[in-house]
Homo-oligomer: A and B are copies of this chain.
Amino acid sequence: MNKIAILTSGGDSPGMNSAIRSVVRCALSKEVSVVGVSHGYQGLIEKRFCDLGRRDVSNIITRGGTFLKTARSKEFYSKKGRKKAHQNMSEKGIDGLVVIGGDGTFKGALVFHQEFDFSVTGIPATIDNDIAGTQETLGFDTALNTAMDAIDKIRDTAYSMDRIFLVEVMGRKSGAIAVHSALAGGAEDLLIPEMEQSVSSVLKKVQQGREAGKKSWIIIVAEGSGKTLTLAQELREHIDDVRVTVIGHVQRGGSPSAFDRILGARMGSAAVQSLLQGKKHHAVGWFNDRPVTYPLQKAIQHKQEDFSEFIELVQILT
């Protein structure tokens, strides 16, 4: 392997820059040159290439987002688009590709590998931590801390005004941010996609709590539960002064936490090693405090998580 390309695709997440820097510098240290591709897979099709030296990735680890930019590419969904991408890489002499992103990104990489027998490695990056086969993804720890900081701030008003707050955190399919931020933020209750809890049972607990003298209440709702508005309406029919806060895109940005920067650095290093060892269709994962590699095929499956212990603990600690 003489030259690899690197791109970020799908939603951005904090720590992507740390992974890019690590891939670039680890590859260069093994005398493999690196081509940066901007705007994700679309950049492969449009030849948005730039050679990356050591200095080009200076001073980026402190920044959220991705300096290579990211995009969602419709063209890459088509065989024709992928063919163009492959041709552009061949012309440029690229013989390996590192992609950083979530499960859509990984599916694209696997198809690309299958069609052209091209060597690809995936680094999992998504604040939702919903990639199968890895305990951690880039950006989750930072997003969790951002959500927790928001909950801490909201508690100041909840406490001062004896109020009920619904706080919606990100997570389309996964309740990972919700359960972790509920536990870290000391929330009183939570609603997540993975959990059977009716809106009326939440209401009942709030009413019982208020009768017992507990006035302020923070309930974390995962975006993907789709129940924020229903719960707000239900509560408002019985209780004054219910407020809804949607933390939103703030969770996607910000300077990465130490954990995410280290994860990026170590996963980037593992990705380069994996390619150099001849693995052609692997993802880098994180297991028991170390990077591991495993087939992309496994990474694109649905991640089944059991949050029951977390949920129980949130309720005991309320």
Q: Which of chain B's residues has its CB closest to A317's CB?
A: B25
Q: Which residues of B lie under 8 Å from residue A59 when comparing CB positions?
A: 155, 159, 186
User: Is A53 among interface residues, defined by CB-CB distance under 8 A?
Assistant: no
- Give how many copies assemble into the complex: 4
Q: Which of A44-52, A83-91, A143-151, A189-197 contacts B (4 or more CB under 8 A)?
A: A143-151
Q: Which of A115-123, A225-233, A259-267, A293-301 contacts B (4 or more CB under 8 A)?
A: A259-267
Within 1-59 of A, Cβ neighbours of B (below 8 Å) are at: 8, 11-12, 14, 21-22, 25-26, 29, 59
Q: Give the most central of A8, A146, A156: most B CB within 10 Å.
A: A156
Q: Given A245-B250, A248-B246, A269-B316: A156 and B69 within 8 A (CB)?
A: no
User: Is A207 among interface residues, defined by CB-CB distance under 8 A?
Assistant: no
Are B180 and A262 in contact, CB atoms less than 8 angstroms apart? Answer: yes
For residue A172, give the distance in angstroms from its CB to the closest CB of chain B. 15
Q: CA A52 – CA B8 in complex, angstroms?
A: 30
Interface residues on chain A, number (Cβ under 8 Å): 68
- Residue from B29, B61, B152, B261 in contact with A62 in the complex, judged by beta carbons closer than 8 Å: B152
A-B contact pairs, 15 of them (CB 8 A): A11-B157, A22-B313, A26-B316, A141-B259, A146-B153, A154-B250, A154-B253, A156-B252, A156-B253, A157-B249, A180-B262, A184-B258, A184-B262, A265-B317, A287-B288
Hey, which bits of chain A sit against chain B, CB under 8 A?
8, 11-12, 14, 21-22, 25-26, 29, 59, 61-66, 69-71, 135, 141, 144-146, 148, 150, 152-157, 159-162, 165, 180-181, 183-184, 186, 243, 245-255, 257-259, 261-262, 265-266, 269, 287-289, 313, 316-317
